[in-house]
Structures are given as structure tokens and as C-alpha cells.
Amino acid sequence: MKIGRVLAVTAVTGLMLTALPVAAHADDVTRSGSYTVSSSKTIDGDLIVSGGSVTINGTVKGNVRQKGGGSVTVGKKGTVEGNLVESGTGNVLVYGTVEGNVEEYGNGSVTVYSIGLVDGNIYEKGAGNVSVRGSVEGNVEEYSTGHVRLYGTARVDGNVTERKAGNLYVTRGAQVEGDISETGSGKRVNR
């Protein structure tokens, strides 16, 4: 009996120790300086980076937040399953997929390339621009002095709004399902 219990306790302990690295991997990742999520890596929580650039070639199953100097690049095979927030001086470049919102609060710009997809909204609340060549399944809103540029390959399922002094450039071929409006002192320019 005692040997059976000892073996059972040993087996359970061994299983618990084996599962610990998996459970620890589910935590949020916080880094200082530049950080890259490789194509073979999945982060099962949020990714928070201060004072450096972030490159995502793998998957982040939570939100991505970049603070301070540095940009965020979602590579062609990169996926962010939550929201992406850049609150420093860098840019947001989307070649891959962001399943939530993209928010830029500093002086940087947001660019969605032709193969890029934002499944939520884009909010540019600083002095940067918004350029869309790919797909946005929500709204595009620019709240400050930056411009909004919709290129001929752009597809936006929601509304596009430039709210202050920047201009709103719409290139022939751009598809917008919602309203397009310039509500500030800027101009709407059709190309």
C-alpha cells in the first residue's frame, strides 16, 4: 500500500512539474527595449514593451502595448488577437492581421499595407497619419493634425473620418462601405 501511494504521489508531482512551464507561458510578457515574436512563437497573454520596437512574426493571443520610443510592426505572418496600442513616438505597420483595434496616441503614423488586415477600428489620436492600402473591417478615425490616405487597394467596411486639421485623401478604387467625412478644417481630396 505504501509503495502504491508513494508511486502515485511521485507520478502526480512529476506531472505537475511538467505542466509548470506551460502554465508559466500563459502569463503576460513585459519587456524593456526592442522585442521580436518569432514566427514559431505564440504568446498566450498580453505583450507590453517599453522603450523599444516590437516586431510580431508569430502570434500574440492578447493585447500588444508599446510605450515610449519605438515602433510596432506586425509581419506578413504575424497575428495579434487583441488590440494594438502604440503610445510613444513610433509608427504602427500592419502587414499581417490585427483582430482588435489599432490605437496610436503619439506622433507616429498607422499604415495598413495591401496584405494587412485590421479586424477592428483604427484610432489615430496624435499628430501622425493613417494610410490604408489593405483591409479595415471597422472605422478609421484621425483625431489630430495628421492626414488620412486611402489608396486604390484599400477596403474599409466602416466609416472614415478626419476630425481636425489634416486632409482626407481618397484614391480612385478605394472601397468604403460607410460614410467618408472631413469634419475639421482640412479638405477632402479625391485622386
DSSP letters, 109-162, are -EEE-TT-EESS-EEE-SS--EEESSEESS-EEE-SS--EEE-TT-EESS-EEE
In whole angstroms, what is the distance from residue 26 CA to residue 34 CA? Answer: 21
Domain ranges of the chain: 28-190
- Work out the percent of the chain whose per-residue pLDDT is above 90: 79
In whole angstroms, what is the distance from residue 117 CA to residue 96 CA? Answer: 6
Long-range contacts of 76-85 (CB under 8 A, 24+ apart): 76/115, 77/39, 78/37, 78/39, 80/56, 82/46, 83/120
Give φ, ψ of 140 to 5 degrees. -120, 120
Q: Which region among 14-28, 55-69, 120-134, 168-182 has the lowest average model confidence (pLDDT)?
A: 14-28
Task: Quote the mean pLDDT of the chain.
Answer: 90
pLDDT tens track for 115-168: 999 999 999 998 899 999 999 999 999 999 999 999 999 999 999 999 998 999
CB of 54 within 8 A of CB of 35? Answer: yes
